[in-house]
């Protein structure tokens, strides 16, 4: 099974990182973010508007306008972020109800619903602040094993 991270999620994470670590005292313009990471303007603008509607960012109008963080990154978990951009994380059965074996489909749906529930719990336990701190640790030559162990502790504590 492939867990797909969309470009939108990657753009959102980079935007939040930039706002929290590089520019804390003023609104960030979309063009500035796009120039910093070489991202497409229209895509980033759309994502920042979605984050603003989700009350994660605040919009500032005017010549020196842009976007600022509205939430503390310790309170912004990955599930909230993903659902703000992509919509609910859930199991979807693509077949019409009349196709296939009903009991098998119900069992399959139940198993995958349980897996998705566990996945959502994991996403709830990782906030953006942690993610950005791990990035900083990685750049300081903290091993991938240390980061994996840190993630394992989060999973164990659920």
Query: For residue 43, which of 8, 90, 83, 19 has the smallest C-alpha distance?
Result: 8
pTM: 0.80
Q: What is the mean pLDDT of the chain?
A: 84
Give the pLDDT band of residue 142 (cuts 50, 70, 90): very low
pLDDT of residue 152: 61
- Three-class secondary structure assignment of 89-142: CCCCCCCCCCCCCHHHHHHHHHHHHHHHHHHHHHHHCCEHHHHHHHHHHHHCCC
User: 127 vs 141, which has greater pLDDT?
Assistant: 127
Query: For residue 73, which of 115, 30, 136 has the smallest C-alpha distance?
Result: 136
DSSP-derived letter for residue 151 is H
Strands 66-69 and 57-60: antiparallel
Residue 144 · residue 111 · CB < 8 Å: no
Domain chopping of the chain, boundaries = 7-88
Give the pLDDT band of residue 149 (cuts 50, 70, 90): low
Query: For residue 55, which of 84, 35, 77 has the smallest C-alpha distance?
Result: 84
Q: If you classify domain 7-88 with CATH, what class do you get?
A: mainly alpha
Residue 82 · residue 123 · CB < 8 Å: yes
């Amino acid at each position: 099974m492939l867990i797909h991270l969309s470009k939108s999620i990657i753009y959102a994470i980079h935007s939040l990182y930039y706002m929290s670590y590089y520019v804390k005292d003023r609104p960030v313009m979309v063009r500035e973010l796009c120039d910093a990471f070489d991202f497409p303007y229209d895509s980033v603008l759309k994502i920042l508007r979605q984050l603003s509607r989700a009350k994660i960012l605040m919009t500032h109008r005017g010549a020196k306008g842009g976007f600022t963080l509205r939430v503390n990154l310790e309170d912004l978990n990955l599930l909230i972020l993903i659902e703000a951009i992509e919509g609910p994380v859930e199991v979807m059965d693509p077949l019409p109800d009349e196709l296939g074996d009903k009991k098998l489909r119900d069992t399959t749906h139940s198993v995958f619903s349980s897996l998705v529930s566990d996945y959502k719990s994991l996403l709830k336990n990782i906030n953006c602040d942690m993610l950005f701190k791990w990035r900083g640790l990685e750049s300081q030559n903290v091993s991938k094993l240390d980061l994996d162990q840190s993630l394992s502790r989060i999973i164990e504590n659920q």
